[in-house]
Amino acid sequence: MDIEYAYQKERREFGRQCLFSDKNKVEFTEAANHEFFKEYILRDPVHLGTQYSRQMSLSAVNTESAEFENRGILHSEGGWPKDVNYLDPEQTVRYRRKIEKDENYVTQLTGLTKPMEHCIYQNNAVNIYENYFEGLDPAPLMEKSSSRTLNVYRDPAIYKQPVTHLSWSPDGGSKIAVSHCNMNFREASGKAVCSYIWETENPNAPLLRFTPHSSMICLEYNQKDPTTLVSGMYNGQVAAWDTRNEKAPVMISEREHSHRSPVNSTLWINSKSGTEFFSGSSDSQVMWWDTRKLSQPIDTLLMDPIKSDEQDLSRSYGVSCLEYETSIPTRFMCGTEQGMLFSCNRKGKSPQEKIVFRLQCHTGPIYSLTRNPAFVKNFLTIGDWIARIWSEDCRESSIIWTKHHSVMLTDGVWNPTRYSIFYVSRVDGVLDAWDLLQQQSEPILSIKVCDESLKCLRAHEAGYLVGAGSTKGATFLLEMSDNMTSIKNDKPLLTAMLERENRREKILEAKSREMKLKVRTLHRQEDTIDERPKLFQCKSACDAAEQEYLQTLEKERKARAPEEYDQEYDPRKIAKQMEMEAASDEEMNE
């Protein structure tokens, strides 16, 4: 297609200097008016450019026209000799090997590659305006996780005491209960520390101040009544509090019928009256209480690691934390100071029936024990330098665990809305957020909350707020980013992952039980068969495996060449051969 352009002036003539010449001709003249000189103001310097003519330019581009054709290709099997059946794979493979051994095969193959490359490059032309992925949903971009500190609630007392427990109010989480207690025996004895209820919007002064006669280790809201709380104290007593009367507890247990050591955890029970709760202490006892009558406990259970109908207090383990799920009203779990976990059923008639199973989870105390909000069979334990996720179906080992940290872990909690995320607090003041679906080797977010150690964590039911208490009496309210509160397909993806890990752990448990049974059977055979030579008696599993391997080789050797084996190892022939050799030696000596 040809296009014609009209050129008025060449581009090289643009911007030339105007050359004026004098002529003896006057076009216009006017006399000077000296009155205008008074209104003249001199501006110096002045930079002003004017242009009254049109700017014109031209650009020309000549492109080569491209022609496109669509052609089809029919590929059929051919080129085989008459004596080769191309439908038989053995004949075709044999013929290919024969051709590949030919000396001209490499040179001919090299010559064929050049036109083939030309055809490939011809087919690589891509239409950049074509939408190749119309039916696919766009993949969402992975938003970077973040957090920020909203408020800091500091202990108003002169001497700051560590935060030991946090509890959100059930009326939308507008208030948070904070208990303070120094667990050091020398500093805690004889000193009562106040605990507080803060409004989340007002970090300047606490809403309520509780002043007990003994420091509170835990302070828990009643999820059915926002005005009622229960607390476990350092001297072993439990008390019920009312927000309308902050000066003294409403009810308090009798000292002689209470725990003998500090009460580490108290939790409400899903009962009809809404007044029952239970407590766990370092004296190895779990007690059930009713706030309407705290003079004596309703029931008591010892954490005895040995299965027997008679429980012994001297061999029982101290309780460091409790766990209770309202959807399973008769079941609860206890974490001990020796790292063992007890899964219990309150409806059992005997102590042996009440303790369903025991798990050795950590080498030290279990600081935190929480079930997953959506998958109640899976629970999280925090102890020593590692966080583990367990399943009630697999009791040999945990199904998921984090790396060993360089510092001690103090507490952990699940995200109530996004079930694949859990938070872990550390001694160095760092809060780690772990996402099981995104990565398991490193946390997705590490927050340096403060310089001192973090003692406890508690997540808000909405999922975007997390409370963290430190050893210097400060409670930090953290807000998490939107991608950490909810995500599409979070629950089905986590379901598939937990099922896969459960299945893997069950396979490993079955393999371990099979090996233990095999070793046990070998040891029983050794004990029953005393006539066996000492050479074949196995003293360990390694000797048993070696002996089994040698016996297998011997059986295969007999199966392959039985006649040679009999000739070689026939004792009669061997004895006769030895006699002949001895006779020949005597003749030589004579």
CATH of the domain at 376: 2.130.10.10
What's the confidence (pLDDT) of residue 587?
Answer: 61
What's the confidence (pLDDT) of residue 478?
Answer: 92
Question: For residue 267, what are the contacts with CB-CB under 8 A and spacing of at least 6?
Answer: 220, 277, 278, 279, 322, 323, 324, 332
Within-domain flag for 539: no
What one-letter code names the amino acid at 358? R
Closest CA to 392 of 278, 506, 316: 506
- How far apart, in whole angstroms, are the C-alpha atoms of residue 240 and residue 91? 90
pLDDT digits (tens, 9 = 90+) for 181-224: 888 765 555 567 889 999 999 899 999 999 888 889 999 999 88
**Which of 72-76, 477-481, 500-504, 570-574 comes out lowest in average pLDDT?**
570-574
Residues present in the chain in total = 590
Within-domain flag for 11: no
pLDDT band at 179 (very low <50, low <70, confident <90, very high): very high
- How far apart, in whole angstroms, are the C-alpha atoms of residue 191 and residue 409? 28
**Which of 126-130, 167-171, 210-214, 408-412 comes out lowest in average pLDDT?**
126-130
Half-sphere exposure (CA, 13 Å, Cβ side) for 440? 14
- Taking 50 as the threshold, does the pLDDT of residue 231 lie above it? yes
pLDDT band at 573 (very low <50, low <70, confident <90, very high): low
Question: Average pLDDT, whole number, for the chain?
Answer: 82
- How far apart, in whole angstroms, are the C-alpha atoms of residue 412 and residue 425? 6
The residue-averaged pLDDT of 396-422 equals: 90
- How far apart, in whole angstroms, are the C-alpha atoms of residue 467 and residue 416? 13
Closest CA to 377 of 398, 391, 388: 391
Q: Decide which of 548 and 582 is more confident.
A: 548
Q: Decide which of 195 and 574 is more confident.
A: 195
Burial class (CB in 10 A: 0-12, 13-18, 19+), 421: buried
Whole-model pTM: value is 0.64
Contact 435, 494 (CB under 8 A): no
Question: For residue 64, what are the contacts with CB-CB under 8 A and spacing of at least 6?
Answer: none
Within-domain flag for 175: yes
Contact 292, 276 (CB under 8 A): no
pLDDT digits (tens, 9 = 90+) for 243-275: 888 778 889 999 888 999 999 999 999 888 888
What's the confidence (pLDDT) of residue 142?
Answer: 63
Q: What six digits make up the tokens of 96?
A: 């290919």
Question: For residue 119, what are the contacts with CB-CB under 8 A and spacing of at least 6?
Answer: none
Give strand ranges (E) for 214-351.
216-221, 228-233, 238-242, 251-252, 263-268, 276-281, 285-290, 299-302, 319-324, 331-336, 340-345
Q: Decide which of 342 and 33 is more confident.
A: 342
Q: Decide which of 61 and 455 is more confident.
A: 455
Q: Decide which of 307 and 559 is more confident.
A: 307
What's the confidence (pLDDT) of residue 306?
Answer: 85
The residue-averaged pLDDT of 81-101 equals: 84
Q: How far is Cα of residue 475 from the mean position of the Cα atoms in its chain?
A: 25
Percent of the chain with pLDDT over 90: 25
Q: What is the strand order of the sheet 208-210 is part of?
A: 163-168, 175-180, 195-199, 208-210
Domain count within the chain: 1
Following DSSP, what letter does each residue of 71-125 receive, concatenated? -----------TT--TT-HHHHHHHHHHHHTSTTHHHHHHHHHHHHHHHHHHHT-
Q: Which domain holds residue 486?
A: 147-510
pLDDT digits (tens, 9 = 90+) for 329-377: 889 999 999 989 999 988 888 888 888 888 888 988 999 999 999 898 9
What's the confidence (pLDDT) of residue 268?
Answer: 92
Within-domain flag for 573: no
pLDDT band at 54 (very low <50, low <70, confident <90, very high): confident
The residue-averaged pLDDT of 376-392 equals: 91
What's the confidence (pLDDT) of residue 509?
Answer: 86
Q: What six digits make up the tokens of 437?
A: 């679906």
Within-domain flag for 423: yes
Q: Decide which of 28 and 531 is more confident.
A: 28
Within-domain flag for 22: no
Within-domain flag for 3: no
R_g over Cα of the chain: 44
> Angle of helix 571-589 relative to helix 562-569, nearest 10 degrees?
40
pLDDT band at 381 (very low <50, low <70, confident <90, very high): very high
Question: For residue 441, what are the contacts with CB-CB under 8 A and spacing of at least 6?
Answer: 403
Q: Decide which of 61 and 405 is more confident.
A: 405
Give strand ranges (E) for 147-262.
147-154, 163-168, 175-180, 195-199, 208-210, 216-221, 228-233, 238-242, 251-252
Residue 326 — φ and ψ, nearest 5°?
A: -65, -25
Within-domain flag for 307: yes
Helix (H, G, I), strand (E, B) or coil at 587: helix
pLDDT digits (tens, 9 = 90+) for 467-499: 999 999 899 999 998 888 888 888 889 999 999
Contact 525, 517 (CB under 8 A): no
Percent of the chain with pLDDT over 70: 84
- Taking 60 as the threshold, does the pLDDT of residue 378 lie above it? yes
Contact 167, 175 (CB under 8 A): no
What's the confidence (pLDDT) of residue 508?
Answer: 86
**Which of 85-99, 270-284, 396-410 comes out lowest in average pLDDT?**
85-99
